[in-house]
Every structure is written in C-alpha cells, then in structure tokens.
C-alpha cells in the first residue's frame, strides 16, 4: 500500500470535523479540526450558517496540511441556490424548518419514480415550497450542501449521485434526473446540475484533488461498515438512525411504499434500502435542556431503570422540532412531571431499540434478504446501553463500530480513486475490519418481553 494521506470533511447536523486518514502500514485516522454547526433563525425561517461552516472547512484543511485528496460529505436534502454570477442566493434553509408542513400530503410521494420514504423535508417538497420565491426565480443552479462547498473550493458545478438520490427528483431505476416528474411538479429542470459518481475528480483546491465521495454521509458510512458478507443489516446511528440493508436493486413494491422504506443510491451502484428513524435527536435535545455534557453517569443510572416500563413512538412527528423535548417525552410516555433524567433517558433508548427492531424486521420481510448480524456504526456505537438494548430487541448480535465509519468511507473512496487501495466494497471493508475497533454485543434478556413491547407501540 502506497503511503498517502487524505482529508475527509464530514459535516453533521450539530458539528463538523476534518479527519486525516493515513494509508501505509494499515490505516490510521486523526481528527485535526472540529467546529460547531449552529443553525440560525432569521425572520421566522431556520437557516444553516453555511459561511461559518465553510470557514470551519477551510480552517480544517489548513490544519490537515499537505494531503493527496479532499472529500466532502454531509447530511442530505438541503441546498443552496446560485445565481448567474455564481453567488449564493441566501443561506440554505434547514430541513427542520416549517416551510414544508403539509406539502407531502398535498403532492404525494412519487414512490414509483424516486423510491423514497415520505419525509416532509425531502428536497422535492422544499423546492415546491420555494418555487414562488424571488430566490428561486433568480437561481441558475441548485447545489446540495457538499456540492456547494466543493464548488467554493474548485469552481466546478455538479451533483454527486448518492446525495442526489435523496432529493426525490432522481429516477431510482435509470439513476438520472426524472424530467417527467420535474415537469409535472412545475419545477425547473435547468436548476439541476450534471450528475457525477463517487470516485470522480471534481477539481482542485490549491493544487490538491477534490474527489466526489459518497457525499451523503450515510452513503460514506455504509462503505465504512466492516461487514464480511451480504447478510447484514446496518444502523448508522447519530442524530438520526438510518436502518436498513445494502441491495443491488430497489424494492418498489406496494408493501415497501406502505412501510415507508427508502431506496437511496450507494457507492458502487448499490441501493441503500432503509428507513430514517428519529435516532438520538431526542436524547441530544434533552441533554441540551438539562445542560449535561458527560453522559456516562446518566447512562449508568438509566441502565438501572426498569426495562420497557415507559415507551414512545420516536417516529411521531411531535419529536421533530427542537425545544422542550423532555416535556413532550413525558407527555407521550405518561411520565410524571418529576420524572428523572435517567427515567426519560431509558424511555428514549428502549424506544429507539424498538424502532431499530421494527425497521430491521420489515427490511428483511420486504426485501427477502436474510440478516444474521447488525452493524451499528457512528456516534451511537459509543452508547453501550443502546447497543445492548438493540441486540436484545432484535435478537441478533450487534457489532458496534467504527465510530468514524463516515470518515472512513469518505477516505476509502478517495484512496481507491488515487490507486492507493484496490478492489470493491468487500476489499474496502476488509481494511476497516483489520484496522478499526469493533465491539460485539450478544442478545440477552427476555425476548418475549421485547416482542410484547413491540406490539404495544406498533414496533
């Protein structure tokens, strides 16, 4: 393996970081810069502070020093609009903003074309909400967040395929923009840039190649899953839990549509067949409210709370907005006003484990794919209680880690594009298994109790 290093820019909903991966005698990671991602509400609209994020990216690339490539991944669906001069027409709107309320119900889900889970913030609904605005009328191009940042680094315009597949505007079968859908919705096809695939060179920043990776962070995370065969489920767990299977073709059945499963593009022409589950967002909001930064003692206390005593449906839209999360949880779970943080935390984690269970059970049934192991990657892999509860709820072993799966997937695609590593996803994942720490959790406890709990909350 040629000694080389690459910088992964990995942007999440609450923070960003730049990670340097060094390939040589194995693979090592070094987080060289972290920076906050703090949305801003202006005039009643919730925006991303995209210029602050770009400053964080530039600071991180300076901290990285000389590297052989740069790749950018982020969350999906949100975008910036560029005018004829190349200038950004306002800060991108946050997917948690209320401007799309009710639009999905009015316009439908386009499942037969896009194959996507109905979520109110999908790009297609955002564009419908924006199509009568001055910014939309003045725009020349739409750039999803990673593509916008890459444009600012290189001057090159394009849309990376895995992220484009989350917009609701891509035909999941042809893997091209759906001109018929775009026309039927009264949207502008000319806004959508040419597609590019993971591994393509976008351009250069100060002489360094900027590479299109799986720019939807889940697409990169799934590359970093250390699976050794096809019969695995994955959970990319952070603010959201993305729960599903890796397939070679989409599942577009009526049952899949009714179950609200999504078919998103993955690296190497795979399909990420998954459901978005609320994830750790409710706990993150509670921690902010309680002003708790070190959760180790809270999790220890939560582990002593009676199992499955209080449950909620975490996919209920009531938990989507920020603010007074503990109050909403107490009300939904029937908890008293004086319920302790430990009790609320156990309610969240038991409920999240059940949400994981439901998604995996349904994915198996709808796809016909067997599952023998669950790989849980991302920040949630550090939550030992959640990992164990997920194994218990699903009745399957959970392999937790790597925490840095997204950065790893980003770096591996860059390294392969540069000829530093060879092979398909199996070869890339073998390198992850050889170099990263993975913890195994076997199912334990009362399986019947989990089955009964699943019935109580429709899980």
Nearest 10 degrees: Cα torsion 321, 327, 332, 336: 170
Is the Cα torsion angle 381, 385, 388, 389 positive or negative in sign?
Answer: negative
Rounded Cα distance, 178 and 172, in Å: 9
Residue of 416, 3, 2, 12 lying closest to 224 (CA atoms):
416
Task: Say which of 109, 217, 350, 392 is annotated catalytic.
Answer: 217
Q: Read off the tokens for 294.
A: 């070190």
Q: Is 129 exposed, middle or buried, given 0-12, 13-18 or 19+ CB atoms closer than 10 A?
A: buried
Rounded Cα distance, 7 and 265, in Å: 23
Could you give the angle at which helices 405-417 and 425-435 cross, rounded to 10 degrees?
A: 130
**Does 402 sit behind a cis peptide bond, omega within 30 degrees of 0 on the bond before it?**
yes
- 217 is annotated as an active-site residue: yes
Neighbours of 382 (CB within 10 A): 16
Is the Cα torsion angle 361, 365, 367, 371 positive or negative in sign?
Answer: positive
In three-state form (DSSP H/G/I as H, E/B as E, the rest C), the secondary structure along 96-142 is CCHHHCCHHHHHCCCHHHHCCCCCCCCHHHHHHHHCCCHHHHHCCEE
Q: Which helix (H) or strand (E) holds 209?
A: strand 208-211
Q: 183 in helix, strand or coil?
A: helix
For 439-454, b/e burial (b = at least 16 CB within 10 A) is eebebeeeeeebeebb
- Give yes or no for a contact between 39 and 239, defined as CB atoms under 8 angstroms apart: no
For 207-231, b/e burial (b = at least 16 CB within 10 A) is ebbbbbbbbbbbbbbbbbbbbeeee
Neighbours of 288 (CB within 10 A): 14
Residue of 457, 459, 410 lying closest to 17 (CA atoms):
410
Phi, psi of 274 (to 5 degrees): -155, 170
Catalytic residue IDs: 217
């Amino acid at each position: 393996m040629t000694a080389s290093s690459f910088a992964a820019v990995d942007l999440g909903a609450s923070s960003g970081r730049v990670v340097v991966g060094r390939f040589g005698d194995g693979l090592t990671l070094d987080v060289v810069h972290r920076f906050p991602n703090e949305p801003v509400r202006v005039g009643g609209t919730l925006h991303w502070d995209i210029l602050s994020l770009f400053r964080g990216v530039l600071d991180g690339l300076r901290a990285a020093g000389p590297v052989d490539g740069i790749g950018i991944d982020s969350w999906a669906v949100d975008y910036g609009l560029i005018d004829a001069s190349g200038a950004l027409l306002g800060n991108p709107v946050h997917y948690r903003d209320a401007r799309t309320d009710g639009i999905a119900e009015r316009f439908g889900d386009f499942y037969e074309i896009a194959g996507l889970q109905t979520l109110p913030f999908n790009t297609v609904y955002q564009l419908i909400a924006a199509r009568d605005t001055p910014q939309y009328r003045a725009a020349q191009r739409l750039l999803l967040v990673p593509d916008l940042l890459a444009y600012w680094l290189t001057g090159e315009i394009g849309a990376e395929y895995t992220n484009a597949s989350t917009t609701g505007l891509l035909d999941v079968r042809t893997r091209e923009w759906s001109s018929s859908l775009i026309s039927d919705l009264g949207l502008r096809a000319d806004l959508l840039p040419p597609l590019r695939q993971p591994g393509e060179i976008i351009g250069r920043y100060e002489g360094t190649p900027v590479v299109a990776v799986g720019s939807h962070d889940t697409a990169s995370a799934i590359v970093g899953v250390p699976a050794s065969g096809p019969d695995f489920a994955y959970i990319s767990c952070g603010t959201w839990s993305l729960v599903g299977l890796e397939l070679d073709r989409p599942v577009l059945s009526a049952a899949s549509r009714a179950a609200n499963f999504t078919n998103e593009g993955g690296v190497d022409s795979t399909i990420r067949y998954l459901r978005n589950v609320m994830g750790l967002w409710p706990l993150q909001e509670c921690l902010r409210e309680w002003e708790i930064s070190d959760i180790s003692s809270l999790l220890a206390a939560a582990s002593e709370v009676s199992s499955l005593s209080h449950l909620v449906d975490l996919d209920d839209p009531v938990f989507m907005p920020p603010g007074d999360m503990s109050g909403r949880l107490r009300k939904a779970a029937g908890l008293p006003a004086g319920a302790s943080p430990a009790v609320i935390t156990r309610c969240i984690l038991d409920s999240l484990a059940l949400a994981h269970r439901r998604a995996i059970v349904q994915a198996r049934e709808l796809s016909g794919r067997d599952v023998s192991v669950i790989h849980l990657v991302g920040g949630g892999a550090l939550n030992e209680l959640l990992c164990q509860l997920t194994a218990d709820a699903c009745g399957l072993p959970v392999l937790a880690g790597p925490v840095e799966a997204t950065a790893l997937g980003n770096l591996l695609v860059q390294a392969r594009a540069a000829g530093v590593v060879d092979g398909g996803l199996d070869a890339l994942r073998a390198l992850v298994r050889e170099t990263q720490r993975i913890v195994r959790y076997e199912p334990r406890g009362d399986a019947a109790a989990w089955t009964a709990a699943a019935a109580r909350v429709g899980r």
